[in-house]
Amino acid sequence: GAKRVTGVWLKIGAFSCVETSSLAFCFDLVCRGSVAEGCKLHLEEQEAECWCETCQQYVTLLTQRVRRCPQCHGDMLQIVADDGLQIRRIEIDQE
């Protein structure tokens, strides 16, 4: 069994509605007093891939605050890939 969790890697999608600074703060709080206390949190932000109906191109967006195509400035975007929130890796110490 695991004696200690030493690292957690998360991938956060641009449209996932997760605020990374709040997540990092809360992560430290929930880890206190557990086998994960003091573990390192690694956050990777994922761009959202969108399809623009206006210019018929795939585009990427870094934030949900941007609702227009960076190519043609059209507002008919469909989110194709965002990945939400994923646990990519958990590192444990078994000794």
Does the domain at 4-93 match CATH 2.60.40.10? Answer given as no
Q: Would the pLDDT of 58 be above 80?
A: yes
- Which stretches does DSSP call E strand in the chain? 4-13, 40-46, 48-52, 57-61, 77-81, 85-93
- pLDDT band at residue 25 using 50, 70 and 90 as cut-offs: very high
Cα dist from 58 to 48, 66, 68, whole Å: 10, 15, 12
pLDDT in tens, 8-22: 999 998 888 888 899
Instruction: Give the residue extent of every domain in the chain.
Output: 4-93
User: How high is the pLDDT of residue 16?
Assistant: 86
Q: What pTM did the predictor assign?
A: 0.76
Q: Would the pLDDT of 1 be above 80?
A: no
